[in-house]
């Protein structure tokens, strides 16, 4: 069997939903299809939570109205005589959501978030499943929350592999059915409280299911031709990578390539399950394959992180940076849940490069300021090049000042700033 995953862009309109049907028709074999929320619904639901938590029920309801209109218009476009059962189910979801936002916030933001945001995936899979059924692609809709079990770390649920393995193997049986439609990104605790696996977590869901069911491969269908060597937003003349090794995929994801979720590769690598990244707009193109690949020509990949901050930390007494300093620094940064994108120390200073996270950095600066002399440089970019050479480095340094460099044999990272 194979696992397919369709992301938000592939379910953002009736037209794209139809293209899922077109693709599935080409595969006469057992499939589990994992689907994300439609278009930008997850962001919209985050705004609902935000409004609700801030006590702005009017705003929360107005956001919900828009989400409802968006879904209903897709249903209408797909089939103006949409199945009555579907409309009833969708209405029931919205009734639940309107009731939820009318309640007062509990004070547990992450848990509240996980009770609202996951409905985007439920809505999209109900719609797609119903559409495929009426288009003759008989399928079964599965509520993955009952089978993919996590701990109760809301918004970052960690998969309970033992429990999920039993439940998922028991649920997806291919002699009974060839095609299952289910949700990415969501699961639930042993007490059946819904959890999410972290933003963009649907790829990971696909990998978890593939691992548990010993799938032959996972295919992530996207609106790009495959994994590119740079984000076209920041870079001209990108090229598609035809093949990537698991290790390179993990490295690229770690440095911030947005195409694959960092957690996704590991389970696939452990079982040697191939991951294809392909375009739902060009389903006959091969896309990119990630597996136990080797290659003779290494194509440089570029990863750009914008709006970076370099925090310089010095012991107040000009003493050397020692383990106890590092312990304090890491404890502080981890306590705020901020990820360090790059770090470097000299004898008397320690520099960390982080995203300009305005909700966390002021607190971190204040806390570190109790033990260290701390200064900050803003408006920076972090450029990572995997398989760099001199030409690629020169290319990204045009009109930039270089503040910090770190390199290994295969990867260079540079913190740069526009020449002023």
d(CA 257, CA 279): 17
Residue 199 interacts with which of ligand ASP, Mg ion, none, CB < 5 to 8 Å by class: ligand ASP
- Member of 20, 23, 31, 42 binding ligand ASP (CB under 6 A): 42
Residues 200-229 that bind ligand ASP (CB under 6 A): 200-202
Q: Which does 219 bind (CB under 5 to 8 A by kind): Mg ion, ligand ASP, none?
A: none
Place of tokens 């476009």: 77
208/364 with CB nearer Mg ion: 208
Task: Report d(CA 352, CA 372) in Å as an integer.
Answer: 14
Q: Which is nearer to Mg ion, 121 or 367 (CB)?
A: 121
Q: Does residue 36 interact with ligand ASP by CB under 6 A?
A: yes
Among 34-42, 70-78, 242-250, 380-388, the segment contacting Mg ion (CB under 5 A)? 34-42
3-state DSSP call for residue 91? helix
The rounded distance, in Å, linking the Cα atoms of 96 and 91 is 9
Number of residues this chain uses to bind ligand ASP (CB under 6 A): 12
Contact 225, 276 (CB under 8 A): no
d(CA 244, CA 335) in angstroms, rounded, equals 35
The one segment of 73-81, 195-203, 362-370, 372-380 that binds ligand ASP by CB under 6 A: 195-203
Decide whether 122 or 332 has the Cβ nearer to ligand ASP: 122
CB of 50 to ligand ASP, least distance (A): 15
- Minimum CB distance to ligand ASP, residue 35 (Å): 9
**Of 180, 191, 208, 99, residue with least CA distance to 154:** 191
Token couple for 70: 């968006």
- Residue range at the interface with Mg ion (CB under 5 A); choices 4-12, 215-223, 302-310, 393-401: 4-12
By three-state DSSP, how is residue 357 classified?
coil
Answer whether 368's CB lies under 8 Å from 374's CB. yes
Decide if residue 7 touches ligand ASP (CB under 6 A).
yes
Distance, in Å, from the CA atom of 197 to the CA atom of 188, rounded to the nearest integer, reads: 10
Query: Max CA-CA distance within the chain?
Result: 75
Q: Which residue is nearest to Mg ion (CB)?
A: 8
Under rule CB under 6 A, which residues in 146-185 are in contact with ligand ASP? 184-185
Measure the CA–CA gap between 117 and 43, rounded to whole angstroms: 9
Q: Residue 120 CB, nearest distance to ligand ASP (Å)? A: 6
- Structure tokens given for 56: 């702005």
Instruction: Decide which of Mg ion, ligand ASP, none touches 187; Cβ closer than 5 to 8 Å per partner kind.
Output: none
- Of 57 and 199, nearer to ligand ASP (C-beta) is 199
Using alpha carbons only, give the angle 209, 215, 220 rounded to the nearest 5 degrees.
70
Q: DSSP state, 145?
A: G
Which one of ligand ASP, Mg ion, none is in contact with 185 (Cβ closer than 5 to 8 A by kind)?
ligand ASP
| Cβ-proximal residues to 79 (8 Å cutoff; 6+ apart), any chain | 131, 134
Is residue 125 within the footprint of Mg ion (CB under 5 A)? no
36: contact with Mg ion by CB under 5 A: yes
Indicate whether 219 belongs to the interface with Mg ion (CB under 5 A): no
**Phi, psi torsion values for 10, nearest 5 degrees:** -85, 0
Q: Please select the residue that binds Mg ion; options are 8, 157, 187, 267, rule is CB under 5 A.
A: 8
Sign of CA pseudo-dihedral 318, 321, 322, 324: positive
Stretch that binds ligand ASP, among 194-202, 226-234, 304-312, 322-330 (CB under 6 A): 194-202
Residues forming the site for ligand ASP (CB under 6 A)? 7-8, 36-37, 42, 120, 184-185, 199-202
Residues forming the site for Mg ion (CB under 5 A)? 8, 36
């Amino acid at each position: 069997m194979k696992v397919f995953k369709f992301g938000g862009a592939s379910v953002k309109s009736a037209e794209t939903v139809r293209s899922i049907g077109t693709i599935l028709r080409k595969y006469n074999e057992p499939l589990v299809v994992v689907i994300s929320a439609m278009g930008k619904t997850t962001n919209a639901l985050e705004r609902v939570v935000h409004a609700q938590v801030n006590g702005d029920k009017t705003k929360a309801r107005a956001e919900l109205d828009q989400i409802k209109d968006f879904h209903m218009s897709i249903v209408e476009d797909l089939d103006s005589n949409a199945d009555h059962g579907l409309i009833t189910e969708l209405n029931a979801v919205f009734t639940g959501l309107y009731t939820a936002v009318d309640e007062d916030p509990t004070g547990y933001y992450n848990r509240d978030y996980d009770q609202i945001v996951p409905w985007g995936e439920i809505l999209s899979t109900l719609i797609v499943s119903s559409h495929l059924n009426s288009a003759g692609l008989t399928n079964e809709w599965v509520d993955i929350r009952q089978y993919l079990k996590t701990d109760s770390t809301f918004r970052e649920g960690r998969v309970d592999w033992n429990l999920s393995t039993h439940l998922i193997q028991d649920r997806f049986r291919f002699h009974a059915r060839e095609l299952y439609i289910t949700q990415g990104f969501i699961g639930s605790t042993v007490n059946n409280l819904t959890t999410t696996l972290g933003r963009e977590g649907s790829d990971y869901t696909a990998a978890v299911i593939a691992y548990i069911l010993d799938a032959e491969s996972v295919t992530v269908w996207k609106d790009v031709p495959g994994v590119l060597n740079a984000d076209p937003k920041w870079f001209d003349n990108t090229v598609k990578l035809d093949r990537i090794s698991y290790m390179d995929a993990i490295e690229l994801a770690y440095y911030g390539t947005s195409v694959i979720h960092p957690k996704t590769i590991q389970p696939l690598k452990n079982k040697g399950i191939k991951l294809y990244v392909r375009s739902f707009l060009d389903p006959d193109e091969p896309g990119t394959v990630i597996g136990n690949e080797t290659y003779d020509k290494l194509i440089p990949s570029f990863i750009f992180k914008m709006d970076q901050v370099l925090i310089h930390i010095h012991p107040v007494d000009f003493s050397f940076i020692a383990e106890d300093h590092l312990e304090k620094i890491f404890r502080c940064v981890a306590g705020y849940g901020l990820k360090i994108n790059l770090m470097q120390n000299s004898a008397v200073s320690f520099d960390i490069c982080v995203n300009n996270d305005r909700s966390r950095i002021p607190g971190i600066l204040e806390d570190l300021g109790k033990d260290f002399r701390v200064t900050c440089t803003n408006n920076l970019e972090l450029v990572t090049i995997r398989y760099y050479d001199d030409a690629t480095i020169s290319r990204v340094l045009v009109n930039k000042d270089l503040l910090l460099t770190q390199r290994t044999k295969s990867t260079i990272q540079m913190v740069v700033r526009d020449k002023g």
